[in-house]
């Protein structure tokens, strides 16, 4: 006998025709990812470092992180593009870049709002360390350090004259894998202890819709739409019968 917790439905809403289609989760493609916990289950904190917040020209930023207690688990990019890279588990080399190449306009303007010309770049740092640990960042434009407990209480702290900012975030889990890097229109719903997230992925001039489910602290990701198409937006809802509906426009 099926319970309300393992019954799901998926609906596609075609806006111009006003037609809805309902499918069972069993009719979706098999999970694209194995059920996993956090990408770094041993992490007690994730620190995001944002570089180039004040500088008016592109620059190269290289550096490394260390902690007085515990360990650095991993580093990965935020806004990375080639040739940005991570070296080992605690070092990086990246560039901040102009929003528009010289002499070109975007929407009849050369700059971003408030006159910004350079897009910031940065890294995430996963670490397993106590709140009393001192985190040190060594870089080619200067060094700085902070106590992890201070960053937690303030959420964010500026350094190097405001050109760099450290931001505390809780441990996270990436629901997406593969070459596609543009994921938009997320929506979320809960059914008991289960959590559902839907979103649209854009890659190679096409869109596809995904649905991820968290059960007992583990995630699995399913592909909702059978083929790539022109899909826009997503919404998730749970009805009175315990069915989970995913809605999008086509």
User: In which domain, by residue range, is 181 found?
Assistant: 4-37+175-249
Note if the pTM is more than 0.85.
no
At 161-175, the pLDDT tens digits run 999 999 998 777 777
- Residues 127, 136: contact at Cβ < 8 Å? no
DSSP symbol at 226 = S
Residues 76 and 128 in one domain: yes
Long-range contacts formed by 87-90: CB under 8 A, 24+ apart: 90/64, 90/65, 90/66, 90/125
DSSP symbol at 109 = B
Residues 64 and 165 in one domain: yes
Residues 184 and 229 in one domain: yes
Return the structure tokens found at 199: 């979103």
In the chain, DSSP assigns E strands to 9-14, 19-24, 45-51, 60-67, 71-78, 85-87, 91-95, 97-98, 118-119, 121-128, 134-139, 144-147, 156-159, 164-169, 182-191, 194-203, 206-215, 218-223, 232-238, 244-249
Residues 156 and 138 in one domain: yes
Asked whether residue 24 carries a pLDDT value surpassing 80, the answer given is no
Q: How many domains does the chain have?
A: 2
Residues 52 and 18 in one domain: no
Radius of gyration of the chain from Cα atoms? 22
- Residues 9, 22: contact at Cβ < 8 Å? yes
224 strand-pairing partners: none
Domain boundary among 120, 154, 169: 169
C-alpha closest to that of 162 among 36, 244, 55:
55
Asked whether residue 32 carries a pLDDT value surpassing 80, the answer given is no
What DSSP assignment string belongs to 135-193? EEEEETT--EEEEHHHHHHHSEEEEGGGTEEEEEE--------SS--EEEEEEEEEETT
Residues 181 and 90 in one domain: no
pLDDT at 112: 60
Residues 163 and 119 in one domain: yes
pLDDT at 239: 81
β-pairing, 45-51 with 85-87? unpaired
Domain boundary among 149, 169, 189: 169
Residues 90 and 135 in one domain: yes
Residues 73 and 132 in one domain: yes
Report d(CA 37, CA 208) in Å as an integer. 24
Domain boundary among 169, 184, 206: 169
pLDDT at 168: 95
> Could you tell me the CA-to-CA distances from 203 to 179, 200, 225, 235, 236 in Å, in that order?
8, 10, 14, 20, 22
Residues 148 and 225 in one domain: no
C-alpha closest to that of 66 among 85, 99, 88, 81:
88
Residues 53 and 157 in one domain: yes
Residues 193 and 116 in one domain: no
At 100-143, the pLDDT tens digits run 655 555 555 555 666 667 889 999 999 999 999 999 999 999 99
Q: How confident is the model at residue 156 (pLDDT cuts 50, 70, 90)?
A: very high
pLDDT at 1: 40
């Amino acid at each position: 006998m099926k319970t309300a917790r393992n019954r799901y439905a998926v609906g596609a809403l075609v806006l111009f025709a006003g037609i809805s289609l309902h499918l069972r989760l069993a009719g979706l493609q098999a999970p694209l990812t194995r059920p996993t916990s956090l990408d770094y289950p041993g992490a007690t904190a994730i620190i995001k470092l944002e570089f180039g917040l004040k500088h008016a020209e592109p620059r190269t930023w290289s550096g490394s992180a260390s902690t007085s207690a515990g360990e650095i688990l991993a580093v990965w990019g935020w806004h990375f593009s080639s040739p940005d890279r991570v070296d080992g588990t605690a070092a990086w080399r990246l560039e901040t870049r102009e929003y528009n190449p010289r002499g070109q306009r975007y929407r009849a303007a050369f700059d971003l709002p408030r006159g910004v010309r350079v897009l910031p770049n940065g890294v995430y740092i996963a670490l397993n360390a106590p709140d009393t640990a001192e985190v040190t960042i060594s870089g080619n434009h200067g060094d700085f350090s902070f106590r992890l407990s201070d960053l937690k209480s303030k959420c964010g702290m500026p350094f190097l004259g405001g050109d760099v900012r450290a931001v505390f975030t809780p441990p996270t889990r990436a629901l997406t894998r593969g070459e596609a890097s543009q994921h938009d229109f997320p929506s979320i719903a809960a059914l008991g202890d289960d959590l559902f997230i839907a979103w649209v992925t854009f890659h190679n001039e096409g869109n596809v819709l995904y649905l991820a489910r968290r059960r007992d602290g583990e995630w699995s990701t399913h592909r909702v739409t059978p083929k790539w198409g022109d899909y826009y937006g997503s919404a998730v809802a749970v009805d009175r019968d315990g069915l989970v509906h995913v809605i999008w426009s086509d």
